[in-house]
């Protein structure tokens, strides 16, 4: 069974973050620069939220607010669902589906060690299913 630590080993453990006092525009620029859809919000080493493109669209654009004058803390999602490196991909898929989130910070010993997205999870499930199909085909042909 695939675990979060296996995904992080494959994709890397980069953590892209911003502080809560930074302007939302800086967060959007960082997401664009890194080709990602969300940033963790860290106050020092403490995980205090997540800001996503969805937060930007709904809380800045739709409310006609200024992204250069609004701090991240005003639009971030403060309720954070985290996972551990030992959690299974299935558990993470269930969390994403049930909680309607797309990004799960990975926390180990109180420290953020990575992030998995719904895209990472789907890719892992598809890959695992491909391996199982191949094994079944070999068994049937064998």
DSSP string computed for 16-85? -EE-TTSBHHHHHHHHHHHT-SEEEEEETTEEEEEEEHHHHIIIIITTT--TTTSBGGGTSB-----B-T
Mean pLDDT value across residues 129-134: 76
Q: Which domain holds residue 26?
A: 4-141
CATH of residue 16: 3.10.580.10
User: Whole-number mean pLDDT of the chain?
Assistant: 93
Count up the domains in the chain and report the number.
1
pLDDT tens readout for residues 30-80: 999 999 999 999 999 999 999 999 999 999 999 999 999 999 999 999 989
Residue 125 confidence (pLDDT): 87
For the cut 80, the answer to whether the pLDDT of residue 114 exceeds it is yes
Residue 129 confidence (pLDDT): 78
């Amino acid at each position: 069974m695939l675990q979060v630590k296996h995904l992080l080993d494959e994709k890397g453990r980069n953590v892209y973050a911003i502080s809560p006092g930074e302007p939302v525009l800086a967060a959007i620029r960082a997401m664009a620069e890194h080709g990602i859809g969300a940033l963790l919000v860290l106050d020092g080493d403490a995980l205090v939220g997540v800001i996503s493109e969805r937060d930007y669209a709904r809380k800045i654009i739709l409310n006609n607010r200024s992204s250069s004058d609004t701090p991240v803390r005003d639009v971030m999602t403060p309720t954070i669902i985290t996972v551990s490196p030992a959690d299974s991909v299935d558990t993470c898929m269930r969390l994403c589906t049930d909680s309607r989130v797309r990004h799960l910070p990975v926390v180990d010993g109180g420290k953020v060690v990575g992030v998995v997205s719904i895209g990472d999870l789907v890719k892992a499930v598809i890959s695992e299913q491909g391996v199982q199909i191949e094994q079944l085909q070999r068994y049937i042909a064998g």
